[in-house]
Structure 1
């Protein structure tokens, strides 16, 4: 299928040529957490048809947003992952999440939800809370990996010199683990509740490794 274009000499139009189609940015959201198999992508994009997902992935390969590679044995499955150009869309997705937050409201009965869908808007909130610009927390202890546990699943956020990133599933050795319900996670993610307020009110339960005091994450 030939590439569709707005045929406008404008950076916004050029960007939308590549990512303006339905489902494209949500595929990017999924792959920001790491490489995924086709079946995993389809499972976490409820509502997308198999034909549409396959078509979008081909378009994204063509536009250097994703690449497809085969895992080494014994897995030998194909996975999709973002290219550096695809990863560069993270700030755009964060801005879109902030812009769309006022329209979110209460969860509707028909709304699907996955835990890691909160990861992108949470990145900036967690980075602000845990780092002071030099890699340490505001209480002086380095927090590099934050685990987030919801009833719907777990994901983790990595805070490093290259900027925050997230991964799907639990972290092997998180520096701190936060457990909360979906409503609380949404409030923190969309800046309606600070992390410190959530911890102080008991809406967020904190699990710390040995030798780390509560005050080091509540300040």
Structure 2
């Protein structure tokens, strides 16, 4: 294992970058926020990363306490990687970084790979804000299934996020449909990119029909109280 590189600066930003500032590290965190992943699955969803680079970054993340490697119980008998609590604490960092990078998104380039679950992190705070305070009589919306033309994933909002409309490191996402979602969101990839870029709010998308929402089994979602921040 290569020795840990450091900026050798007594600064919390520099210390953070000592752990996550290398190329690919934060994208590996993005993938592992969906749960435990096998090495081959990580490699498939990180197009462009070499096998040596991925293996090296995963070892660095283990060393720095961001991820652990464990063997699945039989009959799988395979190894998976998953985030530690410290690694999961990077979720709000990634949502902030996604907001900062959204203006650079634009239209997909011909060389761009696309995965549906890559929209989960930037969409998460907008879902939290949109569903906070809505349909209180039916209970909070905590599990949201998102259906894009690229695929399906689901987001889980913790109690604080569901009530206050903000993302915490207890929130998460996973690929595929949710077993029992509180709400289902259907939109195309172009509309999702506009929501992430804040050119289209979820409320406007629902109003114009570009976004279809069912919550607790009923179509559309009523307007939030005036005091609630909308997404």
What TM-score, normalized by structure 1, do the two folds share? 0.91
Question: Cα distance, 1:103 vs. partner?
Answer: 1.4
Q: Report matched runs for 1:82-121 at 5 Å.
A: 82-121=83-122
**Residue 25 of structure 2 corresponds to residue 24 of structure 1:** yes
**Residue 13 of structure 2 corresponds to residue 15 of structure 1:** no
Question: Cα distance, 1:209 vs. partner?
Answer: 4.8
In the aligned structure 1, how far is the partner of 2:115 from the partner of 2:142? 23
Aligned residues: 213
Q: 1:156 aligns with which of 154, 161, 173?
A: 154
Question: Cα distance, 1:213 vs. partner?
Answer: 5.0
Preserved contact between residue 213 and residue 221 of structure 2 (Cα < 8 Å): no
Q: Which residue of 2 aligns with 1:34?
A: 35
Q: Report matched runs for 1:63-212 at 5 Å.
A: 63-132=64-133, 137=134, 140-141=137-138, 142-161=140-159, 163=168, 164-210=171-217, 212=218
What TM-score, normalized by structure 2, do the two folds share? 0.87
SS state at 2:106 partner: coil
Distance 1:61 1:75, change over 3 A: same
SS state at 1:52 partner: helix
SS state at 1:155 partner: strand
Deviations 1:185-207 (Å, cap 9, x if unpaired)? 11112322111111121112234
Q: 1:214 aligns with which of 211, 216, 220?
A: 220
Q: CA RMSD in A?
A: 1.6
Preserved contact between residue 34 and residue 168 of structure 1 (Cα < 8 Å): no
Preserved contact between residue 121 and residue 190 of structure 1 (Cα < 8 Å): no
Structure 2: which 5+ residue stretches go unaligned? 161-167, 225-231
Q: Which residue of 1 aligns with 2:165?
A: none
SS state at 1:113 partner: coil
Question: Cα distance, 1:139 vs. partner?
Answer: 5.5
